[in-house]
Amino acid sequence: MENINKPSTSIKNWAVDDRPREKLSLKGAAVLSDSELLAILIANGSKEKSAVQLAKEVLQLGGHNLNELGKLSLKELQKIKGIGIAKAITIAAALEIGRRRHASASLEKTVIKTSSDIAQYLRATIKDFSYEVFAVLFLNKANKINHFEIISRGGLTGTVADPRVILKIALEQEATSIILCHNHPSGNLRPSRADEELTQKIKTAARYLDILMMDHLIVSEEGYYSFADGGLL
C-alpha cells in the first residue's frame, strides 16, 4: 500500500518561490540556479523524482560543469532514469543555443586581422565535437565574416574536405577570402601531413578564383594552432 504520508515530488506542491517557472517569472532568469534552469527544460519529473531532482542528476553527469554537459550525447543523457529521448533532445538543443550565442557574440562586428581574432569563436563552435569536423569561414572585402559552415564531419581520427564544395560556397557568398578550420578531438594541435597537403591543395585552387586563403586553424581543448603563424602558408 502506498505510504500516504510520503511527500509528493510534484513541483506544484512546492512554495511558489521554489517553483522554477514562477521564480523566473517573478525574479528573472539570472537568479535561478543551473539545476532550476534545467528543470524548466525537463518540465516534468517522474514518479520518484521532481524535475529539479532530475536536473541535479543531469548536472552531476556533466561534473556540475555546463561546458562538459554540452559534450554529452543523447544516449549519455538518457542514462539517468526519468530522462527519455524527448527530454534529452530538449537539453541538448538548449545547450547548443547557448554555445551558438556565445560564439556569435565573440564575432559581432569583428574585423579579422590575426589568428587570435577568430580562435575564440572557433573553439566555442567546434572544439567540443567528439569527432573531427572541417569548417570554413567566408569573409568579405572588409575582412568581416559573411558566413560560417561545417563542410564535413568525419571519424575520431580525421575528416575530408572537398575543395570544390568550399569554393562553390565561397562564390555563392561572394567571399574574397576564406579561413579553414578543423578540430582535433585528441587535443593534439600538431598538423598532420594530410592537413598540410589539403591546406596547400585548397590554397592553390582558391588562388585561381582570386580568393585568398588567410589561414587554417586547428582547435582543441588545449588551444589552437595557426598555419599562418606557423609559417605553413
Q: Kindly report the three-state secondary structure assignment for every residue of 147-197.
A: EEEEEEECCCCCCCCCHHHHHHHHHHCCCCEEEEEEECCCCCCCCCHHHHH
Q: What is the pLDDT of residues 2-50, one digit of tens each?
A: 454 545 555 555 444 458 888 888 888 888 888 888 888 888 887 788 8
Q: Hey, CA dihedral for 32, 34, 93, 91, is it positive or negative?
A: negative
- The reported pLDDT for the residue numbered 18 is 55
- The reported pLDDT for the residue numbered 121 is 74
Is the Cβ–Cβ distance between 39 and 52 less than 8 Å?
Answer: yes
> Rounded distance, CA 78 to CA 126, Å?
23
Is the Cβ–Cβ distance between 159 and 153 less than 8 Å?
Answer: yes
- The reported pLDDT for the residue numbered 138 is 92
- pLDDT lower than 70: segments of the chain: 1-18, 102-111, 124, 127-128, 155-159
- The reported pLDDT for the residue numbered 1 is 43
- The reported pLDDT for the residue numbered 201 is 92
- The reported pLDDT for the residue numbered 210 is 94
Is the Cβ–Cβ distance between 112 and 157 less than 8 Å?
Answer: no
- The reported pLDDT for the residue numbered 104 is 63
- The reported pLDDT for the residue numbered 13 is 55
Is the Cβ–Cβ distance between 125 and 146 less than 8 Å?
Answer: no
